[in-house]
Amino acid sequence: MEKKPSLNVFLLTLINIATILSIENWAFLAEYKFSSLFFLLLTAVAFFIPVSLVSAELASAWPERGGIFIWVKQAFGERLGFFSVLLLWISNLVWFPTILSYFAVTFSYAFAAWDLHPLWLHFLSIGLISSSVVLSHKFGIRFMGRLSSLALLFGTLVPGCLIILGGFYWVFSGQPLQMECSWRALLPNFSRMDELVFLTGVLITFSGIEINAIHARDVEQPHRNYPKAIFFSGLVIFLFSLLGTFSISIAVPRENIDLVSATMEALSHYLNFFGVGWLLPILALFIGIGGIGGMTVWIAGSNQGLLTALQQGDFGFKSFANARKDYSFRLMGVQAFLALALSMIGFFMPDMNGFYWILTALSSQLYLFMYILMFGAAIVLRLNKPDVERPYKIPGGTRSMILVAGAGLTSSLFGFGISFFPPGQIETGNLFVYESFFLVIWGALIWAGFFYRRKRTPAPTN
């Protein structure tokens, strides 16, 4: 019996919001002050909507486990398919130290330890990522998905609303504003790459919606309801991000915005302003616990994709990955260990902001290149395999698909390109070392994805 669609617009909208919305990204956006409005609008139209619609069509046509690996493999072959999922896995690995540092600082607020030694923060990070790995392995992604959805309320919506309410009160009570609101301030200086580079962080703020594309087949009347859910979830995420960003921007001078702790500092600032500073440790605890739930879903998802590629592809691990039931857990352990090693380096860096940005830029490069492959695959598959059934299909024919995917491809290419430039607002050290770091990483990735070949045992001859 065919499974009856079980998702309506409201439920799918909630799932999308729970996956994407987070308050820790507001510090990146606050660097742009009033021009964050321009970049949020641009990102929503040219990136979020294309990613959502394109991934939904691909997932409805090729719904089997593997996601991006299956889609890119169908269009460009096994090697590029493996490369795409490898990018996703390493992107999460590089991203974890940034999110771990954010949650470690958040938990320090929860325990009222305002000036913890970096080593203690590292031990706290070990506990956070270890908890995520163990919980994901023991209870599975479904349980942790429910936990992260519940944590959305207390870990994101409640503290986020308090920051936004604080911002409104700050404005209407006549407090001094740290943000210029004018037409000149709305548009950034397009001639300076060091001012545009934070757009990379804005793009990543709206990434991850492809994880929910697996639900495209479960939506009632997908051609009509899936775009509605994308519109409503995008509107909520846009408004929440914009108001939260403005609430930080108007109270915190640009030179004082810290990429790791700016959101918590703004929350502390407004709670103290209202005379309820005692709420800060409680809210910080909720934010930290909610982060564990969200991080668990990302750990499980990225490792499952790589495991599927290893099991299906001819990369020297096929028999081993199929034979061992705990191979996924081992992959998660390797990812967690490498992330902690990177995190350990960061806590002893003289400029945490610079280290935080370098890892964010690298993670963004990896993720955006994966999107470049995804958009390219969508166009190729629509042209070369038009007869494959697509329960959800971008309306308007092939030209419409090329237009939507082309917009996403263009924004991903632009974000990828500018991510190699150092930002003007953050000290990232020597320019040659900065650029060389990225080139070495990409050289190693290209070797691993394209040129590595395991030694094959020659077939016996009679």
- Residue 145 in this model has a pLDDT that exceeds 80: no
pLDDT of residue 376: 95
- Cα dihedral sign, 177-179-185-186: negative
pLDDT of residue 456: 46
Residues whose CB is less than 8 angstroms from the CB of residue 151 and which lie 6 or more positions away in sequence, other chains included: 286, 289, 290, 291, 292, 293, 294
- Mapped onto helix, strand or coil, the DSSP state of residue 7 is strand
Would you place residue 214 in the very low, low, confident or very high pLDDT band (cuts 50, 70, 90)?
low
Q: What are the counts of helices (DSSP H) followed by strands (DSSP E) for the chain?
A: 19, 0
- Residue 88 in this model has a pLDDT that exceeds 80: yes
> Can you list the domains of the chain with their CATH numbers?
9-451 (1.20.1740.10)
Report the C-alpha gap between 375 and 406 in whole angstroms.
Answer: 7
Where is mean pLDDT largest: 22-26, 53-57, 91-95?
53-57
- Mapped onto helix, strand or coil, the DSSP state of residue 449 is helix
- Residue 372 in this model has a pLDDT that exceeds 90: yes
Residue pLDDT, tens place only, 281-307: 888 887 777 666 666 666 666 666 677
Closest CA to 40 of 240, 323, 301: 240
- Residue 424 in this model has a pLDDT that exceeds 50: yes
- Residue 350 in this model has a pLDDT that exceeds 70: no
Closest CA to 346 of 88, 129, 116, 121: 121
Residues whose CB is less than 8 angstroms from the CB of residue 367 and which lie 6 or more positions away in sequence, other chains included: 87, 88, 91, 204, 207
Report the C-alpha gap between 58 and 192 in whole angstroms.
Answer: 37
- Residue 5 in this model has a pLDDT that exceeds 60: no
Print burial letters for 78-109: b (CB count within 10 Å at least 16), e (below 16). Answer: ebbbbbbbbbbbbbbbbbbbbbbbbbbbbbbb
The predicted model scores a pTM of: 0.82
- What percent of the chain is predicted at pLDDT more than 70? 73
- Cα dihedral sign, 353-359-362-368: negative
Report the C-alpha gap between 30 and 268 in whole angstroms.
Answer: 16
Would you place residue 379 in the very low, low, confident or very high pLDDT band (cuts 50, 70, 90)?
very high
- Residue 118 in this model has a pLDDT that exceeds 60: no
Residue pLDDT, tens place only, 389-421: 888 888 888 899 999 999 999 999 999 998 888
